[in-house]
Structure 1
Amino acid sequence: MGMNFTFQESSVLYGMLAESSTDIIFKTDPDGAIVHASPGMERLGHKASDAAGGEGLAPQRLLLDLVAPEARQQVAKAHARALAGDDVDWFEFPALAEDSRKRWFELRLRALLRADGAPYGVLGVMRSVDELRSLSERLFTATYTDALTGLTNRAAFVSMLRHMLDAGMDGCLALFSIDFFRTINMQYGQSAGDEVLTVFGDLLRELLRTDDLISRIGSERFAVILPRVTPVEAEGICRRVVTTLADLKQTVGEGTFAVTASASVARIATSLDSTMGRAEMALFVARAKGRNRLEMEKPVRLAAG
Structure 2
Amino acid sequence: MNFTFQESSVLYGMLAESTTDVILKTDPNGFIVHATAALADLGEREPGSPVGPHLLDLVVAEARPLVARAHARAMAGEDVGWVEFPAIGRDNRRRWFEIRLRALLRHDGTPYGALGVMRSVDELRSLSEQLFTATYSDPLTGLTNRTAFVSMLEHMLAARMDGCLALFSIDFFRTINMQYGQSVGDGVLTVFADLLREMLRTEDIISRIGSERFAVLLPRVSPEEAEAICRRVVTTLADLKQPVGDSHFTMTASASVARIETSLDSTMERAEMALFVAKAKGRNRLEMEKGARLATG
For the criterion TM > 0.5, the same-fold answer is yes
Pairwise mapping of residues 19-38 of structure 1 onto structure 2 (< 5 A)?
23-38=21-36
Quote the residue 1:232 is aligned against. 224
Q: 1:116 aligns with which of 98, 102, 108?
A: 108
Cα deviation code 1:136-155 (max 9, x no counterpart): 11111111111111111101
What is the Cα deviation at residue 69 of structure 1?
2.9
What is the Cα deviation at residue 213 of structure 1?
1.1
* SS at 1:270 equivalent: coil
Q: How many Å separate the matches in 2 of 1:210 and 1:129?
A: 33
Q: How many Å separate the matches in 2 of 1:95 and 1:139?
A: 23
Contact 2:70/2:83 (<8 A) preserved = no
Structure 1 residue ranges without an equivalent (≥5): 1-5, 49-53, 301-305
Structure 2 residue ranges without an equivalent (≥5): 293-297
Change in Cα spacing, 1:38 to 1:276, as seen in structure 2 (3 Å) is same
Q: 1:132 aligns with which of 124, 127, 152?
A: 124
Cα deviation code 1:153-182 (max 9, x no counterpart): 101111111112222222211100011111
Contact 2:67/2:83 (<8 A) preserved = no
Contact 2:41/2:90 (<8 A) preserved = no
What is the Cα deviation at residue 120 of structure 1?
1.0
Q: Which amino acid aligns with 2:36?
A: S
Q: 2:48 aligns with which of 55, 67, 70?
A: 55
More divergent stretch after superposition (124-133 vs 188-197): 188-197
Q: How many Å separate the matches in 1 of 2:75 and 2:270?
A: 59
Larger Rg: 1 or 2? 1
Quote the residue 1:168 is aligned against. 160
Contact 1:173/1:224 (<8 A) preserved = yes
Q: How many Å separate the matches in 1 of 2:264 and 2:61?
A: 39
Q: 1:259 aligns with which of 235, 251, 260?
A: 251
What is the Cα deviation at residue 245 of structure 1?
0.8
Quote the residue 2:295 is aligned against. none
What is the Cα deviation at residue 241 of structure 1?
0.6
Q: How many Å separate the matches in 2 of 1:202 and 1:33?
A: 51
Cα deviation code 1:254-304 (max 9, x no counterpart): 43211110001111122211111111111111111111000111238xxxx
| RMSD of aligned alpha carbons | 2.6
Number of residue-to-residue matches in the alignment: 282
Q: How many Å separate the matches in 2 of 1:106 and 1:56?
A: 24
Q: How many Å separate the matches in 1 of 2:245 and 2:105?
A: 74
Q: 1:39 aligns with which of 31, 37, 40?
A: 37
Contact 1:249/1:258 (<8 A) preserved = yes
Contact 1:268/1:275 (<8 A) preserved = yes
1:206 aligns with 2:198: yes
